[in-house]
Amino acid sequence: MKKQTLVITYGTFDLFHDGHYKLLKRARDLGDQLIVGVTSEIFDQNRGKLNVQDELMQRVNNVKKTGLADKIIIEEYEGQKINDIIKYNVDIFAIGSDWKGKFDYLKEHCEVIYLDRTKGISSTELRSKKSGIIKLGIIGYGRIAERFIAESKFVSGVNIEGVFGLNLSRVKLFAENHELSFHTTNFSTFLEKVDAVYIASPHLTHYEYTKKALAADKHVLCEKPLVLNVDNATELYSLALLKDRVLLEGIKTAYSPGFLRLIGLAKSGLIGTIKNVDATFTKLVNQNCRELNAKEAGGSITELASYPLLAAIKILGRDFENFYFYSYFDSEKKVDLFTKFNLTYSNSIFTGKVGLGVKSEGDLIISGTKGYIYVPSPWWKTEFFEARFENPEYNKKYFYKFEGDGLRYELAEFISLINDRKKTRANYKLKVDDTIQIIKIIQAFIDKENVKEI
């Protein structure tokens, strides 16, 4: 008797929708029998999957109701796929094409097929759910937009529908590469097709795009800096409140678990009264890149200062008394290649360093009257920190996983706030006043207030 062809596939299958059904149907059509692995909550957490809304048994039952699965198993640990393929003598491993190349290592054990994903997954049934899939569109098609697409796979409750940009050939290529349902250079058309937008375009475009999106009743997640002017920021947040829409600035560190634990520990009194914070973020960039273009608001402060300033605001507060900048400018490009800046408080001081043309150690040090906390580079991807004391016997290390590029954290927070508008008003991770204070300092630098060239 001829051996039956056995196919296996895996997924979270959260908020089960037509895209899930079609993928299972394509997988089932590849062979005679289909095994479906549904990921457990613990496995999802360990692999960085955020914001899963349906419980495990509900997700299993939704797969069972399709009638496409001959067997359903639970995926509980890294490496289980190989063990399952061997255990069940699987012939074909099938998975969505958005994971293309990720599972090539399984070719040693069976055939690997990447199935075309379903473009556009909204449906009447899905929309009737309390928390359906958010249709999100991307503004921009550069490096961070590319990373955002990859990170979005790890956030439940959202689907990247399409992309808007001014260059038709580039937006078309971006949409094709990422299998998006649409691309357009018409902003009105773009807004009609989505519930929310992610802005990954150059700094000087943020204000206009955010204002138009909010006016059209769309939620907005905008990369940092949100804008470069306090009046513009205040106007946008007022409009978001009027429209009852979520407006969130994408400083990924603010939403990451390690940084949140770090702030809690620092303010707990463990190291005594905090008297000083030092934070550094530098990277060397191509001399012809946008980040060093003065006409596009380039420079070390506009590009990087949001991160050190986040640490200052979250640890020492918003009520600083004075600020000073010391900058090394490129005489031809007219942008700062390195800036050291101080915020002075009534009883403490903050020192930040940012650079696009000068390299330094990217660590964070929080100094208190009883000890200090050291966060090694890159501190903005907070995974490890240590509380250190005069007697090293009392030192303690802390470890928290920072998944991927970190963009999944800001996206997960964004989707969570959309689904629960009450949380928007009480959002503590990055408050409106935090963002406005950060923008105030950046604007002061742009206006050459208290700036000394070195």
What integer is the mean pLDDT of 396-421? Answer: 92
β-sheet with 364-368: strand ranges across: 396-399, 384-389, 371-375, 364-368, 274-282, 349-355, 335-344, 322-330, 451-453
Q: Which two tokens stand for residue 51?
A: 């914001």
Measuring CA to CA, which residue among 316, 319, 306 is closest to residue 442?
Answer: 306
The CATH number that applies at residue 147 is 3.40.50.720
Task: Name, in order, each residue with C-beta under 8 angstroms of 130's C-beta and a sequence gap of 6 or more.
Answer: none
Quote the pLDDT of residue 424. 60
Quote the pLDDT of residue 3. 74
Quote the pLDDT of residue 121. 53
The CATH number that applies at residue 58 is 3.40.50.620
Last residue of a domain, one of 252, 272, 287: 252
Quote the pLDDT of residue 216. 98
Q: Same domain, yes or no, for 422 and 446?
A: yes
Give the helix/strand (H/E) hosting 258. helix 257-266
The CATH number that applies at residue 365 is 3.30.360.10
Residue-wise pLDDT for 38-80, tens only, equals 998 878 777 778 878 888 999 999 999 999 999 999 999 888 9
Quote the pLDDT of residue 123. 37
Q: Same domain, yes or no, for 297 and 433?
A: yes
pLDDT(2) > 70: no
Cα dihedral across residues 424, 426, 428, 433: positive or negative: positive
- Which range among 30-44, 182-196, 214-228 shows the weakest confidence by mean pLDDT? 30-44
Judge whether 1 lies within some domain.
no
Please report, rounded to a whole number, the percentage of residues in the chain having pLDDT higher than 90: 83
Quote the pLDDT of residue 425. 58
> CA-CA-CA-CA torsion for 212, 218, 219, 225, nearest 10 degrees?
-20
Judge whether 444 lies within some domain.
yes
Task: Name, in order, each residue with C-beta under 8 angstroms of 401's C-beta and a sequence gap of 6 or more.
Answer: 48, 257, 258, 383
Q: Same domain, yes or no, for 262 and 164?
A: no
Task: Report d(CA 410, CA 404) in Å as an integer.
Answer: 12
pLDDT(345) > 80: yes
pLDDT(429) > 50: yes
Q: Same domain, yes or no, for 273 and 411?
A: yes
Residue-wise pLDDT for 216-228, tens only, equals 999 999 999 999 9
Quote the pLDDT of residue 125. 39
Largest Cα separation within the chain, whole Å, is 84
Judge whether 204 lies within some domain.
yes
Judge whether 230 lies within some domain.
yes
Quote the pLDDT of residue 50. 81
Q: Same domain, yes or no, for 287 and 433?
A: yes
Residue-wise pLDDT for 315-330, tens only, equals 999 999 999 999 999 9
Judge whether 134 lies within some domain.
yes
Judge whether 245 lies within some domain.
yes
Last residue of a domain, one of 252, 283, 318: 252
Q: Same domain, yes or no, for 399 and 345?
A: yes
What integer is the mean pLDDT of 201-229? Answer: 97
Domain extent for 303: 254-453
Q: Same domain, yes or no, for 350 and 427?
A: yes
Full DSSP string of 34-81: EEEEEE-HHHHHHTT-B---S-HHHHHHHHHHTT--SEEEEE-STTHH
Q: Based on the structure, what is the number of domains in the chain?
A: 3
Q: Same domain, yes or no, for 286 and 421?
A: yes
Quote the pLDDT of residue 119. 64
Q: Same domain, yes or no, for 222 and 332?
A: no
Residue-wise pLDDT for 110-151, tens only, equals 999 999 876 655 433 343 344 478 999 999 999 999 999 999
Q: How far is CA 301 from the centre of its chain?
A: 21
Q: Same domain, yes or no, for 288 and 368?
A: yes
Cα dihedral across residues 170, 176, 177, 182: positive or negative: positive
Please state, rounded to an integer, the average pLDDT across all residues of the chain: 92
Residue-wise pLDDT for 294-323, tens only, equals 999 999 999 999 999 999 999 999 999 999
Q: How confident is the model at residue 19 (pLDDT cuts 50, 70, 90)?
A: confident
Last residue of a domain, one of 215, 232, 252: 252
Q: Same domain, yes or no, for 219 and 142?
A: yes
- Could you tell me the pTM of the whole model? 0.82
Cα dihedral across residues 246, 252, 256, 258: positive or negative: negative
Strand partners for 340: 326, 353
- Secondary structure (3-state) at 130: coil
CA distances from 40 to 56, 59, 61, 131, 217 (A): 6, 10, 13, 20, 36
Task: Report d(CA 86, CA 287) in Å as an integer.
Answer: 51
Q: Same domain, yes or no, for 107 and 170?
A: no
Quote the pLDDT of residue 126. 41
Q: Which two tokens stand for residue 29?
A: 């059509």
Measuring CA to CA, which residue among 441, 454, 448 is closest to residue 331?
Answer: 454
